[in-house]
Amino acid sequence: MSKKNPITISSWTLGDQCRFEDRVVAAKEAGYEGIGLRAETYVDALNEGLHDEDILAILEKHDMKVTEVEYIVQWCEEHRSKEQMCFHMCELFGVGHINCGLMENYSVEYTAQKLKELCRRAGKYIIGVEPMPYSGIPDLKKGWEVVKTAGCDNAMLILDTWHWVRADQPYDILTEEIAKKVISIQINDAYDRPYAKSILRDESMHDRLAPGTGAKDTAGFVKMIKDAGIDPKVIGVEVISDEILGRGLKEAAAFTYDNTKKVLEEAWPEMVEA
């Protein structure tokens, strides 16, 4: 696997009911190079009685790294959520970017101004804005307009297969200019038919599919990323699935990794060469 573009099991893929070391072991045994942590799963580790030095020792013990930090939300609001925790996690784990979403829907101009303020607070860390079809930034078009209008070097985009296909976006809209602002990707798959629009977020949070196992051409998404010249800091595998996780932690990690590897071998073999 690529040390430059670590294949990372995103936090939600292993849920929020496991102990920190169990998460690390399952990821390592499956073949992943990194794990993602949300602010909530980091706090869960602390609530186990672990301190930062214990968490780092567990990672070192299993030769693993935290390579993905998330999730700043509500950054257009007066009372902001989880920013300082995410900044601390980046410092602790040596991660350079933070995944961010925005459920609230505002104009491009207002959202861009608030993104600019967030980027200023983030300092050396990159803010990766993730478009989601049920959110205030529903697609690449608005995501790009917000990032471009903000005009910050550390304002970038994160692209996710599931969000891409559920926004009904074709692969030919990712221009060279936009591609330069993509910091990382998350891959997965989806059924042919989406849930109803009013409950689409339920599908996102409970019923995604492993890369290459659905109807939405994960390999095509990956080829789009490759052909656009994107060098993702992380290839996150975000498969939020009650059914897959219900098979157990180690099986969920192994199943998602094995299918990710198949997709990458087909679409971007350089990412999986030894």
Tell me, yes or no, whether 185 lies in a domain: yes
Tell me, yes or no, whether 116 lies in a domain: yes
CA separation, residue 234 to residues 7, 10, 154, 241 (Å): 6, 10, 16, 21
Q: What percent of the chain has pLDDT over 70?
A: 99
Total domains, the chain: 1
Structural domain harbouring 13: 7-268
CA separation, residue 203 to residues 84, 113, 173, 206 (Å): 30, 31, 25, 5
pLDDT of residue 151 exceeding 60: yes
Cβ atoms 216, 208 nearer than 8 A: no
Residues whose CB falls within 8 Å of the CB of residue 155, separated by 6 or more in sequence, listed in order: 115, 116, 119, 126, 127, 129, 147, 181
Region for 20 from its dihedrals, namely left if φ exceeds 0, alpha if ψ lies in -120 to 50, beta otherwise = alpha
What is the average pLDDT across 208-235? Answer: 98
Residue 81 confidence (pLDDT): 74
Tell me, yes or no, whether 2 lies in a domain: no
Instruction: Return the HEC string of the chain.
Output: CCCCCCEEECHHHHCCCCCHHHHHHHHHHHCCCEEEEEHHHHHHHHHCCCCHHHHHHHHHHCCCEEEEEEEEECCCCCCCECHHHHHHHHHHHCCCEEEECCCCCCCHHHHHHHHHHHHHHHCCCEEEECCCCCCCCCCHHHHHHHHHHHCCCCEEEEEEHHHHHHCCCCHHHCCHHHHCCEEEEEECECCCCCCCHHHHHHHHHHECECCCCCCCCHHHHHHHHHHCCCCCCCEEECCCEHHHHCCCHHHHHHHHHHHHHHHHHHHCHHHCCC
Tell me, yes or no, whether 1 lies in a domain: no
pLDDT of residue 182 exceeding 80: yes
CATH number at residue 65: 3.20.20.150
What is the average pLDDT across 246-251? Answer: 98
User: Minimal CA–CA distance to 111: which of 139, 76, 144, 72?
Assistant: 76
Cβ atoms 209, 182 nearer than 8 A: no
pLDDT of residue 1 exceeding 60: no
Q: Which two tokens stand for residue 4?
A: 């430059």
Tell me, yes or no, whether 273 lies in a domain: no
How would residue 76 be classed by pLDDT, with cut points 50, 70 and 90?
A: very high
How would residue 180 be classed by pLDDT, with cut points 50, 70 and 90?
A: very high
How would residue 274 be classed by pLDDT, with cut points 50, 70 and 90?
A: low
How would residue 273 be classed by pLDDT, with cut points 50, 70 and 90?
A: confident
What is the average pLDDT across 12-31? Answer: 98
pLDDT digits (tens, 9 = 90+) for 119-144: 999 999 999 999 999 999 999 999 99
